[in-house]
Amino acid sequence: MNLTSEQFAKTIDHTLLRPEAVEKDIAKICEEARKYNFMSVIVNPCYVELAKSFLTSSAVKVGTVVGFPFGAATPETKAFEAHDAVLRGADEIDMVINIGALKSGNFELVQNEIKGVIDASLKKRVIVKVILETCYLDEEQKRLACRIINLAPD
């Protein structure tokens, strides 16, 4: 499948999650995303409102992360983070699952945290993506994680 440059640009999440990022860095990635018509910018939760203000009257979405970077927060904390980000204007939530819970076989916790983030985000019809840190998972754990993700919204 051959994509035009415009179609390809709409597949890009322009991401800046460095802990030392400052406001001018957020302005820069927003300017770049607007210039190239990327799908979205992904920023730390503290910058959602700022990025949203830079992208007013633009088709570029603003996304943020939940449970980042390790996924080790409680399900309740992740749901609150998602709810707060949506209230601040996030169009997309990228959540990191609890890797330790998955590796321990606590699949119910993983499913509940995904469901909690989805429930907290769907009220505003926000996209939720689940991040799997696959470098920490073996093949069977990757397959299990995919099954859990598919079951979570039920």
pTM beyond 0.85: the answer is: yes
Which tens digit of pLDDT belongs to each residue from 74-120? 999 999 999 999 999 999 999 999 999 999 999 999 999 999 999 99
Q: How confident is the model at residue 43 (pLDDT cuts 50, 70, 90)?
A: very high
Report whether 129 contacts 93 (CB < 8 A): yes
Q: How confident is the model at residue 123 (pLDDT cuts 50, 70, 90)?
A: confident
Extended beta strands in 5-91, E state: 13-16, 40-43, 61-66
How far, in Å, CA of 154 to CA of 89, rounded? Answer: 26
Token pair recorded at residue 102: 């998955």
Q: What is the pLDDT of residue 154?
A: 61
Domain map of the chain by residue range?
5-151
Report whether 70 contacts 78 (CB < 8 A): no
For residues 19-38, give the mean pLDDT.
97
CATH number listed for the domain at residues 5-151? 3.20.20.70
